[in-house]
């Protein structure tokens, strides 16, 4: 009985966290009104997809790649270039997204087939070099990508801020282009996440886990390790490109620092490790936690500093300029108390792994 109680508790807590996250995102415009809250919810949905796609590589296939944000950027540039160069309609949007996804999958599969035979550390360094080259090209090809200034573009009329679906607000929320953009992002992100869940829970995902645990044994059993890892790379890159297309649609802008910077790659690693590798659910929790901290930790510290005014030390300790220090402390505590990540530790407690 004593062992069963923690197991049920861990499973229940993980389920409640995921249900709360899904509910908050599904009804975010009604629960958290305001432009900033909607932008935060949109970023959470996008980064959940991006982190989950990276978890397919890192957590399931055991591939440490530093080029994942390159595919994120390619997807964003596909949409940005198409909408900036052609009439900003649904056709241009679909063409740009399809081009970005196709190029990302082709590039990822080719890189994997050519380089996954080397040792893991050499593949990681190679992926970092390729990502650096892509970032340089995005910055230098001004006629195509806008260079360092990036590309600003218009979106289909139904997604523009001036569009009105209903004349009057419903429950205090205006049904305009911003709301439609949010629910388009949410619907696509949810579909992509469910697709990734289907992939990792299929026999293909089980083979990836077997390769991660012992690639020599998997190869001895007849599985073509390089082929499976290349397919995983292509799938993850395609989903990352979809996430990039959604980010471009949200911002109506894309530039090298927006989707291809190494800082985003570091954030992505943190999301997956903190949430729990090899779970996908952990990627969702890690992405939500990271984005919320980036958007609201400074505001929270400012409120705490105001409440502690007049007390010794505390106002300086809660100075909003120290938000990165507190963010690092939070991550250290999470790693200490949840060594397998949030979702990974809860699943271990529930006896599922």
Mean pLDDT of the chain: 87
Q: Is residue 54's pLDDT more than 60?
A: yes
Task: For the chain, give the longest Cα–Cα distance.
Answer: 70
Q: What is the pLDDT of residues 95-140, one digit of tens each?
A: 999 999 999 999 999 888 887 766 667 788 888 899 999 999 999 9
Residue 93: pLDDT band by 50, 70, 90 thresholds? very high
For range 40-61, the mean pLDDT = 94
Q: Is residue 324's pLDDT more than 60?
A: yes
Residues 6+ apart with CB under 8 A from 296: 40
Number of domains in the chain: 1
Which one has a higher pLDDT value, 12 or 187?
Answer: 187
Q: Is residue 9's pLDDT more than 60?
A: no
* Among candidate residues 254, 205, 189, the one with its CA nearest the CA of residue 51: 189
In this prediction, residue 175 carries a pLDDT of 83
> Could you say which DSSP state residue 152 is in?
E
Q: What is the pLDDT of residues 64-86, one digit of tens each?
A: 889 999 999 999 999 999 999 99
Return d(Cα 29, Cα 41) in angstroms, integer: 9
In this prediction, residue 108 carries a pLDDT of 93
In this prediction, residue 118 carries a pLDDT of 65
Return d(Cα 79, Cα 318) in angstroms, integer: 41
Q: Which two tokens stand for residue 192?
A: 């992509």
* CATH number for the domain that contains residue 187: 1.10.3470
Q: Is residue 352's pLDDT more than 70?
A: no
Task: Report whether 80 contacts 153 (CB < 8 A).
Answer: yes
Q: What is the pLDDT of residues 217-250, one digit of tens each?
A: 888 888 888 889 999 999 999 999 999 999 999 9
Between CA 247 and CA 257, with CA 253 as vertex, the angle to 5 degrees is 80
Q: Which two tokens stand for residue 324?
A: 């990165």
For range 246-264, the mean pLDDT = 93
Between CA 146 and CA 149, with CA 148 as vertex, the angle to 5 degrees is 60
* Among candidate residues 225, 328, 290, 347, the one with its CA nearest the CA of residue 54: 290
H or E, element range at 151:
strand 151-152
Which one has a higher pLDDT value, 278 or 193?
Answer: 193
Q: Which two tokens stand for residue 244?
A: 């990039």
Predicted TM-score (pTM) of this structure: 0.91
Residue 166: pLDDT band by 50, 70, 90 thresholds? confident
Q: Could you list the residue range(s) of the whole structural domain that residue 216 is in? A: 4-349
Q: What is the pLDDT of residues 133-164, one digit of tens each?
A: 999 999 999 989 988 999 999 999 889 888 77
Task: Report whether 228 contacts 204 (CB < 8 A).
Answer: yes
């Amino acid at each position: 009985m004593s062992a069963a109680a923690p197991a049920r508790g861990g499973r229940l807590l993980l389920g409640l966290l995921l249900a709360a996250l899904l509910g908050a995102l599904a009804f975010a415009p009604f629960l958290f009104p305001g432009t900033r809250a909607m932008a935060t919810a949109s970023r959470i949905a996008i980064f959940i997809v991006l982190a989950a796609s990276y978890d397919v590589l890192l957590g399931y296939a055991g591939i440490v790649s530093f080029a994942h944000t390159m595919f994120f950027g390619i997807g964003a540039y596909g949409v940005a270039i198409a909408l900036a160069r052609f009439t900003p309609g649904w056709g241009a949007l679909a063409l740009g997204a399809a081009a970005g996804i196709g190029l990302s999958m082709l590039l990822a599969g080719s890189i994997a087939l050519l380089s996954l035979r080397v040792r893991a550390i050499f593949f990681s360094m190679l992926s970092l070099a390729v990502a650096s080259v892509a970032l340089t090209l995005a910055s230098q090809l001004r006629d195509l990508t806008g260079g360092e200034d990036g590309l600003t573009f218009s979106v289909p009329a139904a997604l523009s801020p001036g569009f009105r679906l209903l004349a009057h607000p419903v429950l205090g929320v205006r049904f305009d282009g911003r709301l439609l953009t949010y629910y388009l992002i949410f619907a696509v992100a949810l579909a992509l996440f469910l697709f990734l869940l289907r992939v990792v829970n299929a026999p293909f995902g089980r083979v990836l886990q077997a390769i991660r645990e012992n690639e020599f044994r998997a190869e001895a059993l007849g599985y073509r390790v390089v082929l499976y890892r290349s397919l995983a790379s292509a799938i993850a890159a395609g989903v990352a490109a979809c996430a990039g297309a959604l980010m471009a649609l949200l911002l109506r802008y894309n530039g090298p620092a927006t989707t291809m910077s190494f800082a985003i790659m570091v954030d992505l690693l943190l999301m997956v490790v903190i949430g729990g590798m090899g779970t996908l659910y952990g990627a969702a929790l890690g992405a939500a936690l990271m984005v919320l901290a980036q958007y609201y930790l400074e505001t929270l510290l400012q409120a705490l500093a105001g409440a502690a005014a007049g007390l010794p030390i505390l106002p300086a300790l809660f100075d909003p300029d120290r938000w990165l220090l507190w963010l690092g402390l939070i991550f250290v505590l999470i790693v200490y108390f949840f060594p397998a990540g949030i979702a990974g530790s809860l699943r271990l407690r529930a006896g599922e792994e």
